[in-house]
Structure 1
Amino acid sequence: MFSSDKLKGKKIAIIATDGFEQVELTEPKKYLEGEGATAHVISLKSGSIKGWDGPNNDWGDKVSVDKVIDEARVADYDALVLPGGQINPDKLRIEPKVVDFVREFMHSGKVVAAICHGPWTLIEADTVRGKKMTSWPSLKTDLKNAGAHWEDSEVVVDKGLITSRKPDDLPAFNKKIVEEILEGQHASRS
């Protein structure tokens, strides 16, 4: 991968906890940092969190946490990334501070990118009604029941909301995050 400064001065929040799908956090983080952005891993606890290595069906690597959710402010970031994995978003969507942060981010019009099971947190924040989205196939009914228009596509964008289905979609997902950040803030999605 090459490096550029397209996103120099931009800050990205990546919210995750133990059980995040390894590549759905590490690959976007590496890609965005390669484009010049600063990416912070925000979690429920300080120290580190442990990934889930889906292809090996076992625990993956630890990733350092930059901030806990109590320290994070939407105003400090240009974009939000929500990695998937089954465990990670299921834990996050029951944490009021995470749900409030995600809801505020969605209402801000800033870029929000969710992959795989990541949209569960968006559903909990009640922010998907009327949005075009995709996800891991098992979330199709959850998203439809929450009012989203689900489609089976590599990447779907709706006014700065970016969604993808699975790790195979990461190249398109990562590129689209950069494009949307460069496009700038969108009108409120409320």
Structure 2
Amino acid sequence: MPHALVLIADGSEETEAVTTIDVLRRSEVSVTVAGLDGLEIEASRGVRLRADACLDDVLGRDYDLVVLPGGKQGAERLRDDPRVVELLRRQHAAGRRIGAICAAPIALVAAGILQGRQATSYPGFLQHGEAELREEAVVVDGVITTSRGPATAMAFALALVEQLCGRAARDENAERLLYTQTVQTAATG
């Protein structure tokens, strides 16, 4: 069974975090939700989310996938935390998957792992030179998957399912979720 770590912080975007966690768990991915500074966070729209663990308690483990939801303030907190930057660097160096949506690709820039890669984000968060910017809803470049924002969260989560569990699992879950929208996905590497 694949293992994923989803990081949340005060200001994380609810839709992106919860949709990703839910879809991964529906796909039988073992998901650990880790709070940056504690078990409870207040998300970007005032929704309170409760993590499974504190970040410090899970840093020594290996995960097949590390996911960062967006939300400007949450993404900035993730970007500015040296533990997160080091976690992303280790994950990338090991060739394991990383997903970031909305504003969260700024943490990938801080970790130095987007240079020369294709990526997307909420408009204005990635700058030319930090990555080769794309406008598709989901961009997969090797082990890094990025997405644009709350409206693309389902496509993002299903892309992560496909990477961890295969196309059949992705299609089965999309059907069960009544997800029929066709979104543009760019895949490279």
1:123 aligns with 2:115: no
SS of alignment partner, residue 139 of structure 1: coil
1:165 aligns with 2:160: no
> Which structure 2 residues correspond to residues 23-62 of structure 1 after superposition, within 5 A?
23-53=15-45, 59=46, 61-62=47-48
Distance in 2, matches of 1:176 and 1:160, equals 12
Change in Cα spacing, 1:162 to 1:168, as seen in structure 2 (3 Å) is same
Q: Which amino acid aligns with 2:149?
A: K
Distance in 2, matches of 1:174 and 1:156, equals 12
> TM-score scaled by structure 2?
0.83
For structure 2, the residue ranges without an aligned partner over 5 or more in a row are: 167-188
SS of alignment partner, residue 125 of structure 2: helix
> TM-score scaled by structure 1?
0.82
**Partner of 1:84 in structure 2?**
70
Deviation for aligned residue 1:70: 1.8
Structure 1 residues 81-133: Cα deviation after superposition (integer angstroms, max 9, x where no partner): 11000000111211111110111112221111110001011011111111110
Deviation for aligned residue 1:74: 6.2
Structure 1 residues 165-184: Cα deviation after superposition (integer angstroms, max 9, x where no partner): 0111122111110111136x
1:156 aligns with 2:119: no
RMSD: 1.6
Q: Which amino acid aligns with 2:62?
A: D
Q: Tell me how many residue pairs correspond in the alignment.
A: 167
**Partner of 1:138 in structure 2?**
124
Deviation for aligned residue 1:75: 4.3
Distance in 2, matches of 1:99 and 1:43, equals 15
Q: Is the 8 A contact 2:44 2:74 kept in 1?
A: no
Q: Is the 8 A contact 1:74 1:104 kept in 2?
A: no
Deviation for aligned residue 1:76: 2.8
Q: Is the 8 A contact 1:112 1:160 kept in 2?
A: yes
The equivalent position to 1:68 in structure 2, one of 51, 54, 58, is 54
Q: Is the 8 A contact 2:5 2:67 kept in 1?
A: yes
SS of alignment partner, residue 93 of structure 1: helix
User: How many percent of aligned residue pairs carry the same amino acid?
Assistant: 29
1:15 aligns with 2:7: yes
Q: Which amino acid aligns with 2:51?
A: V
Distance in 1, matches of 2:153 and 2:75, equals 18
Distance in 2, matches of 1:106 and 1:74, equals 15
Q: Is the 8 A contact 2:106 2:126 kept in 1?
A: no
Distance in 2, matches of 1:75 and 1:110, equals 13
Q: Is the 8 A contact 2:101 2:148 kept in 1?
A: yes
Distance in 2, matches of 1:106 and 1:62, equals 30
